[in-house]
Amino acid sequence: MKKSLLICIVSFALSASAFAQGILTASSFFKSVSEVYATIKDYEAEVEIKASKSTMSGHLSYKYPNLLRIDFTNPEEQVICFNGDLLTIYLPGSAAILNQSVDNSNNNGANLATAQGLSLLGRYYSPAYETGQEAVPLEEGSDEMVVNLILRRRNMSEAFSTIKMSVSPDTMLIRRIEAVTPQNETFSFDFKNYKLNSGISDQRFIYDPPTSANNYNNFLFSE
């Protein structure tokens, strides 16, 4: 009897250990994503941005540690470029160039998909699985499978109350980010067709907007 009980206990312990090894916590999964992005020196991707009722799309270029450029196809010819110190936005429809000196460029949705952005998220947000660690369709009717994380802010000062991050389980690259503000506004960023570590030159992040456009400096703090 004692021998049978001992065998049952050992068997249960081994089964529990095997089950535990198959569980990857949301924090561990998020850490794995961060580790992948820490190896990326530069990348290009097609990006689609949805905010309110508007949709924008274009080609994104990023280079470590904080160089970012988006050349839009919709709206056509619109450009967002950050060279590490200066944020420049060219709005062709308004013939306007918006310039802003920026101390930290990580407070925007596109830059969440970088090693620095993920580091900040890990510091100020708590990750959890939306439904579990198993991959699910990106959206209803989609064949593309992702793992969904929900990140909730740890304090009230963060710009987004929750961030939903959809990650490809095969590449561990971010496929979609949906960030919700305290005012219940949703900003969505889709990333497709990644091209990693191709050796992007710093020259790509030097943008010369049309001289015929009007310049507006420090627009974020203008009245």
DSSP state of 134: S
pLDDT of residue 23: 67
Give the containing element (helix H, strand E) for 8. helix 2-21
Which tens digits make up the pLDDT trace of 29-74?
A: 999 999 999 999 999 999 999 998 899 999 999 999 889 999 999 9
Smallest Cα–Cα separation from 81: which of 64, 55, 100? Answer: 100
Name the CATH code of domain 25-221 (choices 2.60.120.380, 2.40.50.140, 2.50.20.10, 3.30.2350.10). Answer: 2.50.20.10
Q: Residue 20 half-sphere exposure, CB side, CA atoms within 13 Å?
A: 6
Quote the percentage of the chain above a pLDDT of 90: 70
**Banded pLDDT at 20 (limits 50, 70, 90):** very low
Whether the CB-CB separation of 73 and 92 falls below 8 Å is answered with: no
How high does pLDDT run on average in the chain? 86
State if pTM tops 0.85.
no
Residue 6, φ and ψ in degrees, nearest 5:
-65, -45
Which tens digits make up the pLDDT trace of 210-220?
A: 999 999 988 76
Smallest Cα–Cα separation from 58: which of 100, 95, 92, 33? Answer: 92
Q: Which residues contact 11 (CB under 8 A, 6 or more apart)?
A: none
pLDDT of residue 205: 96
C-alpha 124/C-alpha 154 separation (Å) is 6
Domain coordinates in residue numbering, the chain: 25-221
Residue 145 has pLDDT above 90, yes or no: yes
Residue 152 has pLDDT above 60, yes or no: yes
Smallest Cα–Cα separation from 147: which of 128, 175, 167? Answer: 167
Quote the percentage of the chain above a pLDDT of 70: 84
For the segment 99-106, the average pLDDT, to the nearest whole number, is: 69
115: alpha, beta or left? (left if phi > 0; alpha if psi -120 to 50): alpha
My answer on whether omega of the bond before 182 falls inside 30° of 0, hence cis, is no
